[in-house]
Amino acid sequence: MTEEIKFSVLVSLFNWIQKSKTSSQKRSKFRKFLDAYCKPSDYFSAVRLIIPSLDRERGSYGLKESVLATCLVDALGISRDAPDAVRLLNWRKGGTAKAGVNAGNFSLIAAEVLQRRQGMASGGLSVKELNDLLDRLASSENRGEKTSVLSTLIQKTNAQEMKWVIRIILKDLKLGMSERSIFQEFHPDAEDLFNVTCDLKLVCEKLRDRHQRHKRQDIEVGKAVRPQLAMRISDVNAAWKKLHGKDVVAECKFDGDRIQIHKNGTEIHYFSRNFLDHSEYAHAMSDLIVQNIMADKCILDGEMLVWDTSLNRFAEFGSNQEIAKAAREGLDSHRQLCYVAFDVLYVGDTSVIHQSLKERHELLRKVVKPLKGRLEVLVPEGGLNVHRPSGEPSWSIVVHSAADVERFFKETVENRDEGVVLKDLGSKWEPGDRSGKWLKLKPEYVRAGSDLDVLIIGGYYGSGRHGGEVAQFLVALADRADANVYPRRFLSFCRVGTGLSDEELHTVVSKLKPYFRKNEHPKKAPPSFYQVTNHSKERPDVWIESPEKSIILSITSDIRTIRSEVFVAPYSLRFPRIDKVRYDKPWHECLDVQAFVELVNSSNGT
């Protein structure tokens, strides 16, 4: 018992690491702690407190700052309206009085409050006791129980120690030392082993001797693998330069939950990006996975999304949990979970991460039997069973030039998608890598100086010409001959679809629906108020019968406007996005061409 490490020793280590300026000083403090104060059998109990965000042995505490503040106030027995309680509850502002230097830093504000109530001497808590109490905190089901654990912790610590306990609970120690440095100092193979197992306990137990190298371990079904990530790149040309000479695939960047599906016979796991097992997807997905994955053991990498069967497209991000719950409760819905597999990591009895992406695409085709809107495979050449809302079939294409990427990117953004991911088809899948084998391009919206308030003159169906709802608009600028009279001519300006939530889009479309006039003959002239070119891209599926019936949209866009060949107005916008619907603004107050040209000229001059 006497040999147990005291938490105060760990607190001194934290303070030293935090104070040390250089990474090598920080590492040497950590090394000294491991060698002088920690038995190898205690490594896990200490390391899990140093990098708590990677510890999966304990469930979640369910305590973010605001709930933690309430529990601490109760644990300290302060009334909720006492100044210290207010300080804690309003931690972002540093309390209601003048903002203190610690504003926004929860653990420092808590330490200030605790200092006035706790003694200076160490509370004598051991690392083992702390871990036991944290286990209790994670397993307690209500706030009352959590408060009681916190009150025990407060009794057994001083304010300094409690500050660090709070940081451990919030899973961010702010040591200024990267997780990579901690792993490297612990053992040269620690990071690799963690990346393929996501199991900190196993790493601490297997790698007790830093001089004994560990044979590189491959991934296993049932153990989460740290996901390969994408590096953000600013623009198409930079991306193309980086991928110079490689075979490249451009894929749509889906906006859902990154999920790794591990199948072992009928046992299925759904590991998230943070290696949590999301068993809530099991009800809706597991039978389907068992039946449609043609390998007994398999790991798929992909995105869990929601497919809307009535709109025939993916729903906006954010409804996965709700739809998973509806499926469990047997509720009828036009929305369903849909898994898009974009990679495969394990098939049969072997890991395939060392094969090229091109080879893995072949395996994906063989292993997964797609089911429209439920289980999809993202491989180039018509891999995805469902079509884009615009009717374009491609969610993934092999690209041969920067221009190909630009076109695909533009199409993706017009389709209300999040961006694109570019991947080297010759690359292997690398656990935890973010070094640029995958590049992500996301649109950057710069406000065009002031709002561009444009008028809707037409609509495009969301999925093919014959089905679905209007999901994009053709918008126009007014051509104002005389400032004192209402404009009678409108010049087509751009096509826009991104920016509105599904509900907002639905509201606009239902308001306009009575005035839709189907554009059945593409060659037929539009209503006389509208001036458009003959370019097919500009021809909407429906026209708004007259401008007085229409609605103004406020648009933001990349300021680098491009000279338009497709639309009548002299410039069009790159990646336009709807900012809001201006129900408050009458149709005739829409922006006119002259004002827009001035705006472009003035922003070019700056």
Query: Any idea which residue has 């599906």 for tokens?
Result: 261
- One of 254, 409, 530, 587 touching ligand ATP (CB under 6 A): 254
Which tokens belong to 96? 């209601």
Contact string (CB under 6 A) for ligand ATP, positions 367-396, x = contact: -----------x------------------
Rounded distance between C-alpha atoms, residue 172 and residue 168, angstroms: 6
Q: Is 230 an interacting residue with respect to ligand ATP (CB under 6 A)? A: yes
Contacts for 483 with CB less than 8 Å, ≥ 6 apart: none
Which tokens belong to 435? 């070094």
- One of 251, 414, 424, 541 touching ligand ATP (CB under 6 A): 251
Minimum CB separation of residue 290 from ligand ATP in Å reads 24
Q: Is 357 an interacting residue with respect to ligand ATP (CB under 6 A)? A: no
Rounded distance between C-alpha atoms, residue 566 and residue 491, angstroms: 11
Residue whose CB is less far from ligand ATP, 33 or 254: 254
Q: Is 364 an interacting residue with respect to ligand ATP (CB under 6 A)? A: no
Q: Is 258 an interacting residue with respect to ligand ATP (CB under 6 A)? A: yes
Burial label, 415 (beta-carbon count in 10 A; 0-12, 13-18, 19+): buried
Q: Which one of 48-56, 248-256, 362-370, 522-530 is the stretch in contact with ligand ATP (CB under 6 A)?
A: 248-256
Rounded distance between C-alpha atoms, residue 233 and residue 174, angstroms: 27
* 3-state DSSP assignment of residue 93: coil
Rounded distance between C-alpha atoms, residue 509 and residue 470, angstroms: 7
Q: Is 553 an interacting residue with respect to ligand ATP (CB under 6 A)? A: no
CA 274 from chain centre, in angstroms, equals 12
Minimum CB separation of residue 387 from ligand ATP in Å reads 17
In eight-state DSSP terms, residue 35 is I
Residue whose CB is less far from ligand ATP, 227 or 487: 227
Residue whose CB is less far from ligand ATP, 145 or 430: 430
96 touches 80 (CB < 8 A): no
How many other C-beta atoms are found inside a 10 Å radius of the C-beta of residue 431?
Answer: 20
Burial 589-605 (b: 16+ CB within 10 A, else e): ebbbbeebeebbeeeee
Minimum CB separation of residue 499 from ligand ATP in Å reads 17
- One of 229, 288, 402, 566 touching ligand ATP (CB under 6 A): 229
Q: Is 538 an interacting residue with respect to ligand ATP (CB under 6 A)? A: no
Contacts for 602 with CB less than 8 Å, ≥ 6 apart: 449
Minimum CB separation of residue 38 from ligand ATP in Å reads 34
Q: Which one of 89-97, 252-260, 275-283, 510-518 is the stretch in contact with ligand ATP (CB under 6 A)?
A: 252-260
Rounded distance between C-alpha atoms, residue 65 and residue 68, angstroms: 5
Backbone angles phi, psi at 246, to 5 degrees: -100, 160
Q: Which one of 119-127, 223-231, 320-328, 555-563 is the stretch in contact with ligand ATP (CB under 6 A)?
A: 223-231
Q: Is 303 an interacting residue with respect to ligand ATP (CB under 6 A)? A: yes
- One of 32, 64, 273, 400 touching ligand ATP (CB under 6 A): 273
Residue whose CB is less far from ligand ATP, 126 or 396: 396
Minimum CB separation of residue 14 from ligand ATP in Å reads 27
Residue whose CB is less far from ligand ATP, 118 or 195: 195
Strand partners, 252: 420
Residue whose CB is less far from ligand ATP, 149 or 196: 196
Residues classed as catalytic: 253
Which tokens belong to 370? 């797609």
- One of 342, 543, 587, 596 touching ligand ATP (CB under 6 A): 342
In eight-state DSSP terms, residue 373 is T
- Which residues inside 418-477 make contact with ligand ATP, applying CB under 6 A? 421, 440
Q: Is 93 an interacting residue with respect to ligand ATP (CB under 6 A)? A: no
Minimum CB separation of residue 334 from ligand ATP in Å reads 23
Residue whose CB is less far from ligand ATP, 210 or 258: 258
Rounded distance between C-alpha atoms, residue 334 and residue 311, angstroms: 9
Q: Is 253 an interacting residue with respect to ligand ATP (CB under 6 A)? A: yes
Size of the site for ligand ATP (CB under 6 A): 13
Instruction: Please report which helix (H) or strand (E) contains residue 196, including its range.
Output: helix 190-197
Concatenating the DSSP letter of every residue in 153-195 gives HHHTS-HHHHHHHHHHHTT----S--HHHHHHHH-TTHHHHHH
Q: Which one of 12-20, 250-258, 329-337, 446-454 is the stretch in contact with ligand ATP (CB under 6 A)?
A: 250-258
Report the interface residues with ligand ATP, using CB under 6 A.
Answer: 227, 229-230, 251, 253-254, 258, 273, 303, 342, 378, 421, 440
